[in-house]
Structure 1
Amino acid sequence: MQSEGLLISTSDGERAWPARQRKLLGWLVNETRGERFIDNILVEMCEKLSREGVPVARATLHFRIHHPQWIGARILWRKGLSEAEIDTYEHGTEESSQYLNSPLYEIYNGAPEVRCHLDNASADGPDYPLYDDLRAEGLTDYIAWPLEHTLGKRHVVTFSSDRPGGFGDDDVELLADLLPTLALVSEIRLKNRLARTLLETYVGPHASEQILAGATKRGTGVTVGAAILICDLRDFTRLSDLWPRDDVIELLNGYFDAMSEPIERHGGEILKFMGDGLLAIFPLSDPCACNNLLGAIAEAQTALAKLNEENLRRGHGPLGYGIGVHVGDVMYGNIGSRKRLDFTVIGPAVNIASRLESLTKELKRPVLLSRAFVEKAGCAAQLERLGFYPLRGLEEPIEIFSFSGRK
């Protein structure tokens, strides 16, 4: 009866949504606004489906994502679980036999639906390896559909049943009716996650948090105390002239991995990559910031030594580097033109760290630290005192120390 459901237009005219559809669609549209995470929405949706008599025992959402490490993610819910499992897939997974021989491959390549009655040995269609896993879980029916996002972006949702005979026709109709709304709800969350991921990838986690919170006005910022690290690769211009392009890119990536991972592991924040160099800070709000910075350098030196061993095995020369370290107050915020901003740090303390990095070339020491940093860290016993040196822009020479690793 039309009075029992909302009228919707279909290719065959109009039909009314039954009460179950109205109830679930109303929840998806109106009651999920305060939920940031799509995995929580999937769990609650499946629980509501079960209460409405739809025999869902397993459901998944598969998303293609923009991330430097992963090409995709799967969110998996199973009956009886209050939380979903989230798995990520590295770039290259799309070329694996597991993916190419799966229902997902069909959907991503245009199939409007993949269905398998798992308890029917004579079911039509390919018998994918996934189906054996589902049968082993006691599942009887499997259905996969595309989730169509804007601009032709296609993702996948699947539902499985454990009831003998699987889903009924009314169950399948209800699930299919949810797809357009589920697509909209999931796209909003995916776009939000994408924005955060892109910002974290290009400006770092703390800066991305500030930007998402609204710090986008030019000239806005705060003054923070920080230990500052500036690192630069030696002879990069010569190497880039001599080596093939792909080898140069691989070299840079290996060098940045060796430097960056210890910095991030020890609580530092990389603010920018500058060609073959990087700028990182360790905020002094952490009382262990200076010692964390030294620990990061020691780990990075070990990683760079291993990288150089590999380069020598491949017939390439070792990589040299220079690191300058200082401590002080910096202005942390938005700097740039009206339309193009950079979230970074500036100030005399940054300039001194940069001058120390340049001085490593002259003194033939890979890591130089200012006396101000050494006093803050209380690490003079680990260091070699080199004496006083003039730095461009400073009226008085400053005392400089060399660091060769943790003793």
Structure 2
Amino acid sequence: MNSSELQRICDWLIDGTWAAQEPAVGIADFCERLVAAGLPLWRFGIFIRTLHPEVFGRNFIWRQGQGVEIGSVDFEILDTPEFARSPLRIVFEQGIEVRGRPSDPDSKRFPFVDDMRAEGATDYIAVPVPFLDGSIHATSWITRQPGGFSDDDIAAIRAVIAPLARISEIISQRRTAEMLLDTYVGNRAGARVLGGQIRRGHHDTMQAAIWLSDMRGFTALSDRLPAETVVEILNQYFDCQVAAIRGHGGEVLKFMGDGLLAVFPIDEYVGDAAHVCARVLEAARESRASVEALAFPVGDGVERFRFGVALHVGNILYGNIGGGNRLDFTCIGPAVNLAARLEKITGRLGRTVVASEGFANVCRHDWHQLGEFPIAGFSKAQRVYGLAEETPVVMA
């Protein structure tokens, strides 16, 4: 392999050009530059472990003439026979190179290498990619060149690992920040924080449909079941709502015990309030069906659940609120306060879904007026609406 071309590739990695591209584009560019410089590369893979509650890692696989395939794996892969007999397991656990020549009988311990031989591979090497934080990630390099990789080829691969690790770590850290912010504060709020809105007092005013829900009988449930069981129930219960909320354009801002606060932004310039509120109502119906179907086995019995959700629409203040260096990106305002008060009324009325007069006026539907109720903190009684399709259920 041409040494001056190899140096140019290392310099290209170090100057950060790749970081400005989509990962798949950068990886394809990287591999094509190596091939043009003389490395007989047929297939390349880079496997980056992630800091995500559900995803173990992401993989990017380049094949000559086929571009880059992107995938991800969850933590269940760690318990599979395929991973147990994978060269990458050794790389992740021991941080060492693993070479497998399909012609070498010792490579039979790696079924993947046998699979690659069937596609014409003559050599395979997995090389660790150490990050500065001590975590180990991995690359795999495969050739179809007769005789496999030469000593010079292996030296060239090792030479690009350090700059590849640095640029990969930069991209990975930014993606990790995005994922963590998305996971813990929501995608819109996360984007704002990552974009620099980190000072206390930074805020925007926006119109939104507001969703505030909680589980019926949660206090009693917590009192009679082990804490670990309650946590598992809450996770499944929230799953019933979060998928519907996000699927219909909402953002979950906060979990408060068994309570959930979400907003569905409304573009006032487009005038899509009716469309947004219709999607909110559809999310509420989907969540209601999911919660009703949820059956959690406890001992010899099964726990069933009910919840209530209040829907309102109005202007909210959306931004950084907190004390000292501990901030929360959340929403406040009279509209949020009203939604919280209405949510308490759902239990008294035996309803799953209640809406404010403002929401019912925007979301034209078969609503049933439930009456006017005095609301703490509000000077006037508020008219409340329920779905005509619902039959009130008074909990004992």
Q: TM-score, normalised by structure 1?
A: 0.90
Cα pair distance change 1:221/1:183, threshold 3 Å: same
> In the alignment, which residue of structure 1 is the partner of 2:97?
113
Moved over 6 A (4+): none
Q: Give the Cα–Cα distance (whole angstroms) in 2 for the partners of residues 175 and 141 of structure 1.
A: 13
Q: 1:235 aligns with which of 208, 211, 217?
A: 217
Q: State how 1:324-403 maps to structure 2 within 5 Å.
A: 324-379=310-365, 382-403=366-387
* Structure 1 segment 261-340 matched on structure 2, within 5 A: 261-285=243-267, 286-287=272-273, 288-308=275-295, 310-311=296-297, 315-340=301-326
- Aligned residue runs from structure 1 range 93-104, under 5 A: 93-104=77-88
Q: What is the distance in 1 between the residues matched to 2:27 and 2:133? A: 23
Q: Provide the aligned length of Structure 1 versus Structure 2.
A: 385
Specify the SS of the correspondent of 2:230: helix
Q: Which runs of 5+ in 2 are unaligned?
A: 391-396
The whole-number CA distance in structure 1 between the counterparts of 2:336 and 2:106 is 67
Matched, 1:183 2:183: no
Match of 1:218, SS state, is: coil
Contact 1:367 1:404 in 2 (8 A): no
Aligned to 2:69: 85
- Matching of residue 225 in structure 1 with residue 211 in structure 2: no
Scaled by the length of structure 2, the TM-score of the pair is: 0.93
Deviation digits for residues 173-192 of structure 1 (CA, Å, limit 9, x no counterpart)? 11111111111110010001
Aligned-residue identity in percent: 37
The SS at the match of 1:294 is helix
Give runs of aligned pairs for residues 199-214 of structure 1, distance below 5 A: 199-214=181-196
Q: Is the 8 A contact 2:13 2:164 kept in 1?
A: yes
CA RMSD of aligned residues (A): 1.9
Distance 2:356 2:155 in 1: 70
SS of the residue 1:255 aligns to: helix
Q: CA–CA distance in 2 between the matches of 1:149 and 1:44?
A: 22
Residues 129-185 of structure 1, C-alpha deviation per residue, up to 9 Å, x if partnerless?
101221122211100110011132000011000111121111111111111111111
1:67 counterpart SS class? coil
SS of equivalent to 1:165: coil
2: CA distance between counterparts of 1:161 and 1:388? 75
Q: Which runs of 5+ in 1 are unaligned?
A: 1-16
The 5-angstrom pairing of residues 127-206 of structure 1 reads 127-206=109-188
Q: Report deviation, 1:311.
A: 4.9
Residues 186-225 of structure 1 show CA distances to partners (whole Å, capped at 9, x for unaligned) of 0010001000000000011100111111111111111111
